[in-house]
Chains A and B, each alone.
Chain A
Amino acid sequence: MVADAVSARPRCLRYWRAMLLLVPMLALLALFCLAPMGWVLAHSVQGEHGLSLEHFWVILGSPFYRQAFDNSLRISLYSSVIALLITLFGAVSLRRVDGRLKNAVIALTNMTSNLSGVPLAFAFIILIGTNGALTLLLRQWGWLQDFHLYSRNGLILLYTYFQLPLGLLLLYPALDALDDHWQEAAALLGASHWAYWRHIALPVLAPALLGTFILLLANAMGAYATAFALTSGNFNLVTVRIASLVSGNIDLEPNLAAALSVLLVALLALVAAVNQWLLKRSYHAR
């Protein structure tokens, strides 16, 4: 009994010490994540005459806002899928190349992950803008006819670029889950390279791939500065609409902006819920 009490005390102390270390993070989370979310949620249902869902009806009934969601979703979806595929191939390749090249690529990836927002938009403008160096060169060679950086395809390219470092950062360690012996065992059982990926590697990597995809999607849906800097707010995206409703001179409507934000969060929450549901049905949950 005495021994139990003695050993219980340090355990209890360790528990509270660990909890204490969590406090700064929890405080920040509450201040800058939960509180704004609560504010946004509260204001999204704040109508002209008290509580109301009128802002949501405005958004759902407006072709303009629906187009913003459509554009944001398409750009985010395409750029996430493209980035996921590129980073998957890249991560698989990096696991097999020699150590120095691997370290160099990872260092470069970490460095480029910091190049985003306005500097990234500027870099793209001077490189592949209307009179960008690469654009002129490709036009001269006849390899480029009708590419416009300030269009949806231009934004997909830009988004894909800033998704790559994040994708690689998330996927590269996940590939450690693959045991090389599986591929050898599969080969001895008659499986081709593709059959191994289809039947073994991709199902094993499914949680990491889905998780990375969702983070990329969220990253793209929430992107604002790069897109704004590139298109001067002329391309209709959800984040651009939210910003103009909060800071616009003519259409200042923070409650409508809050409703747009709630819909954006709900959309991402839905994707995350589908991901969880898929994972629960797979062998990973057993």
Chain B
Amino acid sequence: MNIIVCIKQVPDTAEIKINPETNTLMREGVPSIINPFDLHALEAAVRIKEDLGARVTALTMGPPQAESSLREAISMGADDAVLLSDRAFAGSDTWATSYALAGAIRKLGADIVFCGKQAIDGDTAQVGPETAEFLDIPHVSYVRNIEWIRDNTIRVQRLMDEGYDVVESPLPVLLTVVKELNQPRMPSLKGKMAAKKAQIRMMGKADIEADEDSLGLKGSPTKVKSIFAPETKAGRMMIEGGPEEQVDILIKELRKIKCL
């Protein structure tokens, strides 16, 4: 069985701050990490490999420096790693990203494709299902448990608003996973050695037989028009004084508007 895990290198968004004067992002020194949801996707794949036998390939699309996240994936149990990187991919929105990823997955071949439910920088949760559509395979989102795999069928639990659905799908299938699925392991010493030595396979636009007009910024239907900080609320009241005074004023205000 071949399993592909799609991972994304993202800035640790909890560390990003906004410059209050210019309303712009301060990205200097923000560390890059593997998208946390993708670690659960990788763990799921490695556990299937341990239980049933499989070859696990970590795939990422990004700039050359995303290679470090692939080495990390190998240290956590992936067998192979593929870096899909090309200047032509720059500026891709979810549509163009999924188009390119699907091209690579088609070339590599997979029985199961795992993705995290969403990336913490974009938070769209769209790339998984869009990639499945381009591959013309079924997908199940928000997988919180894998019950069994047999006879070319997989049974999983899909998290819903008010509980969960038990869903069966034929293989090949794409699954997007939530954190409840498992606890990702720490890299092993053996894994770290393997990561150091591993050959990272490179793929570019020529390798995925892509339609040039469907790549990157040019191939992306959505365009970012502007970026801005949210507006300040009118009629705000700052309560001054010592703590006791502040509490008293707040209570008085809340009683005035009949909230207490």
Chains A and B come from one and the same complex: no
> B residues within 8 Å of A by Cβ?
none
Chain A interface residues (CB < 8 Å from chain B): none
